[in-house]
Amino acid sequence: MLRTSTRRVTSSLSRTVVFARCLNTQSGAVPFPEKLAFAFDIDGVLKQGHHNVLPEAKRVLQLLSGGDGRLSKPIPFLLITNGGGVPDEERRAALSSELGVQLGPDQLVQSHTPLRDYVKPYREKPVLVIGGAGESCRRVAESYGLKHAYIPQDVIKWKPAIWDRTALTEEEEAFARPADFSQIPLSAVFVMHDTHDWGRDIALILDTLSAKDGILGTKREHKSDQGEVELVLSNADVEWRSDWPIPRLGQGAFRLSLEAVYKATTGLELPYKQFGKPFKATYDFSELSLRRYLSSVGRNPDIPLNVYMVGDNPASDIAGANAHGWSSILVRTGVFSDENGETPEHKPTVIMDDVEKGVEWAIRRETGRIL
Ligand SMILES: [Mg+2]
């Protein structure tokens, strides 16, 4: 249930002004919370739907970034989303414009951003990259330094018989790159975003994982569930909220389907590495990003941090934060609702109406000041 009203927004604004003034160390009212940092989910916390930025989110980010001059220095924060399919620099520029704050390079973690470090051993090797519209995920892969990133359309262009249910469109014919996969040993498959053609992509992943030495059109003996070709997925969400009133199927649902087909055809468990919330790899990368940010603004990157994750999804945002030793703030502006007395499956540190109230609560908790 979405709960916004003009009256509430107005009262939130005045509250924020009051507590921000109290925090200005130049007034000497409250010591600056040196250890405090925030991690925000985007959908259902800062935004609702594709285009609707919540006004309280804009105010909070302005405050924390120090952009309005009310804080003596910024409080570190970053955004962690299970979304993706767009190169980080492009998404960062778009979000900076939408949210009204300039996000630095260490302040955005998309589902595939941790792959930037993870893919280093594959930079010179041929890999298959799956997900997103057109060749967007190839652009993501190339932005991470992968020099030989192929996409499903390249494979179909090589041998249309490998998936004859849907032909390439004119546009796909134009961007698909010519390649002879009988001579290209694929070494990994990276699923970086929701796939637009589940049947095609399940078939291609099965073929690649089952191939001998990564050569499409060959088949190796399945003697164990340790594949020769590594499979990496960036987002485990089974469902997600779009502008449609019923939750839509996400990359996690695709993986469940892939697992079932792999088991049915090989008798084995699907071997894969999972990134995205709530997985440890993503939280480790995010904490490292917060420390890089501290370093970039001239602060000690090694100080103990009290990180507060603000999210709307107990199963991803809250579960991941709790497991990582962060505090967690569950908000009511997204998928979670307790209107009928529901309790979240993963218990947060606190439940608040929205991101602004959550941030106020965390600052009060860290400074000991009742505002
Ligand atoms: Mg969310």
Could you say which architecture CATH assigns to the domain 115-274?
A: 3-Layer(aba) Sandwich (3.40)
What are the backbone angles phi and psi of residue 160, rounded to the nearest 5°? Answer: -55, -25
Check whether 20 has a pLDDT greater than 60: no
What are the backbone angles phi and psi of residue 77, rounded to the nearest 5°? Answer: -150, 160
Q: Name the fold adopted by 6-85+299-367.
A: Rossmann fold (3.40.50)
228 CA → ligand 1 middle, Å: 35
How many beta carbons lie within 10 A of that of residue 213, not counting itself?
A: 11
Q: How far apart are CA 172 and CA 107, in angstroms?
A: 33
185 CA → ligand 1 middle, Å: 38
| Least trusted range by pLDDT, from 23-32, 150-159, 212-221 | 23-32
Residue with the two structure tokens 């199927």:
249
Kindly report, as residue ranges, where domains of CATH 3.40.50.1000 are found in the chain: 6-85+299-367, 115-274
Q: How far apart are CA 233 and CA 168, in angstroms?
A: 25
The predicted model gives 207-217 an average pLDDT of 94
Check whether 35 has a pLDDT greater than 90: yes
The pLDDT assigned to 72 comes to: 77
Residue 224: band (very low, low, confident or very high) from pLDDT cuts 50, 70, 90: low
The pLDDT assigned to 1 comes to: 36
44 CA → ligand 1 middle, Å: 5
Q: How far apart are CA 353 and CA 303, in angstroms?
A: 30
The pLDDT assigned to 247 comes to: 81
Check whether 341 has a pLDDT greater than 70: yes
* % residues pLDDT > 90 (the chain): 76
Task: Give the residue with greater pLDDT, 288 vs 239.
Answer: 288
135 CA → ligand 1 middle, Å: 26
The pLDDT assigned to 369 comes to: 66
Check whether 213 has a pLDDT greater than 80: yes
Q: Is 362:368 a contact under the CB 8 Å cutoff? A: no
The pLDDT assigned to 308 comes to: 98
82 CA → ligand 1 middle, Å: 8
The pLDDT assigned to 94 comes to: 97
Q: How far apart are CA 339 and CA 105, in angstroms?
A: 38
234 CA → ligand 1 middle, Å: 16
255 CA → ligand 1 middle, Å: 20
42 CA → ligand 1 middle, Å: 6
40 CA → ligand 1 middle, Å: 9
**How far from the centroid of its chain's Cα atoms is residue 80's Cα?**
5
19 CA → ligand 1 middle, Å: 26
